[in-house]
Structure 1
Amino acid sequence: MQETEFQFAGAQGTELPARLWLPDGQPRLVLQISHGMTEHSGRYDTLAAALAEHGIACAAFDLRGHGRNPGSRTCADMGPDGWEQSLSDLQRFCERLRESFPGVPLGMLGFSLGSFLLRDALCRGMVAPAGVILAGTGTQPGAVLAVIQAIVRGQLRRAKPGGTTPLVQKLSFGAYNRKFAPNRTRADWLCADEAALDRYCADPLCRPDISAALFLELLSAMRRTGGKRALAGWNRCPILLLSGADDPVGAMGSGVRQLGAAMERAGLPVQTVLLPGARHDIFHEEAGGAAAQARSRILRFCETILAESEKPRNQSPAEK
């Protein structure tokens, strides 16, 4: 495998750090990865290496306010209009990959924050991948999200620009962490693998918190993508929902199953997989074996994408 780091020109000319992992030989498929809240693209080396062994290339960039991008080192914050610009970044990166690998099927993977960003882009018809993997995602009642939104809007007046407040911390990561009390770290909800969790907490490129503004943007996206009509704009392609059975973001599996059921009702070809004993960050649950299972499931799903891509398309009368 060959890994390359480069700068990607996102929306409004913003330069974003990016990575490309190439297999030996011509890629059979390219997988665009959108990482999760507070982390960065470099945390997907192990997944990319496993896929590269099977001829699958991976590519990712650090979302605004994350990873090697400028900004606060304590709070992930996308900046003013950051969600909309990040949607454009995702779309531009997709277009760049298509130009760089003409004729090669393009799949897209979104984890956590990246899953909601990808879902929002799909709802708007901004991207049309050959297959979609949503990891660490879920759905919550719109009424509950609306109440939390109202509280966070009030907190925005108290938070410094790009910063957070104790109440926002309690409503976001704190609410998830309480499900695993007594807590050893600030992020026990992420991963049961203590060694992996300690590496995350010590990673200087991982922000410990999210800003009040970004949390509000995420809540808004969760409401948009969870609405009854949200799936109408999706292109019809294979979909994999992959989460830990003990992931609080997916309501311990029930939110993931609800999303899968909604997709089935919308006529979308979806597979729902919950990994037993795994929490939110399934890609780093090595000790319990969930990370290896996640890689295996993704590889099998990539083969599904390839099989679907190789099927002959319906020809128009003029093509026959």
Structure 2
Amino acid sequence: MYIPHLIYCGFSVLQTMVRYTTAIRGISMNTERFTFTGSGNAKLSAAIWMPDGQPKAILQIAHGMTEHIGRYDKLAETLTAQGVVVAGFDLRGHGRNSGDAHIASFGEGGWEKALEDIHLFFAELEKRWPGVPHFMLGFSLGSFLLREYLGQYDDKVTGAIILGTGHQPGLVLSIMCAIVKSQIKKSGFDGTTPLVQKLSFETYNQKFEPNRTASDWLCADEAQLDLYIKDELCREHISSGLFWELLSAMKRTGAKDAYQSWRKDMPVLLISGQEDPVGDSGKGVQRVDAAMRKAGMNNVQMKLFSGARHDLLHEEVSGSAEEARKLMVEWMNKNV
């Protein structure tokens, strides 16, 4: 049952639009949808899912490429039942922030602004729930944003869940960056080209030929994949500029010294689908795990889910999504 009523949130940079309570299978979950003011006065659509009473932890989410924060309601249902606040916002050029555009883009210089957005949102959640353990989750595009963010602010984060990430050789990424940068000259930063689409999503899909859809690489659960494809808030393409910024970030986060400055005892949970092409079918995730351990990090846990593809949290039919959610609960309880 939904009970809408307007409230004042109390955040200095949040303008609350609506709050409602949802009862699902006896679980009471309060949800706030609002406009968050990010870096440069950008207006970003956001959501907070709250349990009843004082929370025991916060999980802040940085979502993936071409999707939006609303796709995390199932995870929020699981975690709020355990007393965890779940919060996040649509990244720049994604979800409700992109209007009628079918191309996801941060805009020129948007990567640094997106990192600032994440930090502003982090600070405001801290103001609202001071002293509450603050975990972060980054998926896909969000995983690389989170890895860069932790290089600057890991001392403020209780622990990190890095989902659907990967690692590619620096030389390969340098070549890719040069190719994509040449495409920006043709399309502009916020436009795209057939070559950019081929190098980004189409290459991933080749592993799963013959293809049922252009997005088979995302999820083996056909019903969930079809919901994603039909979701009007999920963008169809990635801009040349955003792809170049992502490749550049992948190169930085894959550098030999990428984790040297990270807090050595910070809890990190690395999870991915075993068939995820972004993680090179698990090999890229294993490289990230090995690099973190080599840097002296002593609280890193990794799990690969057999048969699951990139969008692990929507692999419902196989049970992988539910297993991943349960693992997150156990891991947070252990590290809270």
TM surpasses 0.5: yes
Question: Match for residue 253 of structure 1?
Answer: 282
Partner of 1:313: none
For residue 286 of structure 1, what is the aligned residue in structure 2?
A: 316
- CA-atom RMSD in angstroms: 1.1
> Could you tell me whether the CA contact under 8 Å between 1:108 and 1:133 is conserved in 2?
yes
Alignment partner of 2:192: what SS?
Answer: coil
Deviation (angstroms), 1:305: 1.9
Farther off after superposition, 32-41 or 71-80: 71-80
State the SS of the aligned residue for 2:260: helix
Asked whether the 8 Å contact 1:23–1:52 carries over to 2, the reply is yes
Contact 1:27–1:57, Cα closer than 8 Å, also in 2: yes
Q: Report the more deviating stretch, 228-237 or 184-193.
A: 228-237
1:14-29 alignment, distance < 5 Å = 14-29=42-57
Give, in angstroms, the shift of residue 72 of structure 1: 5.3
In structure 2, do the counterparts of structure 1 residues 127 and 191 end up closer, same or farther at CA, with 3 Å as the change threshold?
Answer: farther
User: Residue 188 of structure 2 contacts residue 240 of structure 2 at CA under 8 Å; is this kept in 1?
Assistant: no
Equivalent runs, 1:204-283 vs 2, <5 Å: 204-236=232-264, 237-268=266-297, 269-283=299-313
Q: Partner amino acid for 1:232? A: Q
Q: Is the 8 A contact 1:125 1:233 kept in 2?
A: no
* DSSP 3-state at the match of 1:68: helix
Cα separation, 2, equivalents of 1:119 and 1:6: 26
Whole-angstrom CA distance in 1 between matches of 2:46 and 2:133 = 20
In the TM superposition, residue 160 of structure 1 has moved relative to its aligned partner by 4.2
Measured after TM superposition, the shift of residue 23 of structure 1 is 0.7
Specify the SS of the correspondent of 2:272.
strand
TM-score, normalised relative to structure 2: 0.89
* Alpha-carbon distance in 2 for matches of 1:96, 1:260: 31
Q: 2:184 aligns with which of 133, 156, 159?
A: 156
Distance across 1 between alignment mates of 2:289 and 2:211: 31
Please give the per-residue CA displacement for 1:101-154, whole angstroms capped at 9, x wherever unaligned.
011100000000000001011123376310000000010100011111111011
SS in 2 for 1:173: helix
Q: Specify the code of the residue in structure 2 equivalent to 1:280.
A: H
> Does residue 100 of the first structure (1) align with residue 128 of the second (2)?
yes
**C-alpha displacement at 1:234, in angstroms?**
1.7
1:118 to 140, 143, 146: 146
TM-score between both structures, scaled by the size of structure 1:
0.94
Distance 2:206 2:219 in 1: 14
Matched, 1:131 2:159: yes
Q: Which amino acid in the other structure matches residue 190 of structure 1?
A: L
Q: State the partner residue of 1:40.
A: 68
SS at match of 2:279: helix
Could you say what secondary structure the match of 1:5 adopts? strand
Unaligned runs of 5+ in 1: 307-320
2:215 aligned residue: 187
Using the aligned pairs only, state the percent identity. 53
Q: Is 1:304 matched up with 2:334?
A: yes
Q: Is the 8 A contact 1:29 1:105 kept in 2?
A: yes
> Match of 2:24?
none
| SS of equivalent to 1:233 | coil
For structure 2, list consecutive stretches of 5 or more residues without a partner in the other structure: 1-28
Whichever residue aligns with residue 271 of structure 1, its letter is Q
Amino acid at match of 1:244: G
Amino acid at match of 2:252: R
Q: Which runs of 4+ in 1 moved over 4 A?
A: none
Q: What secondary structure sits across from 1:158 in the alignment? A: helix
Distance 1:286 1:167 in 2: 33
Say if 1:107 and 1:305, in contact at 8 Å, map to a contact too: no
Partner of 1:314: none
Number of equivalent positions: 306
2:315 alignment partner AA = E
1:143 is paired with a residue whose SS is helix
Pair 127,165 (structure 1): closer, same or farther in 2 beyond 3 Å:
farther
Q: Aligned residue for 1:202?
A: 230
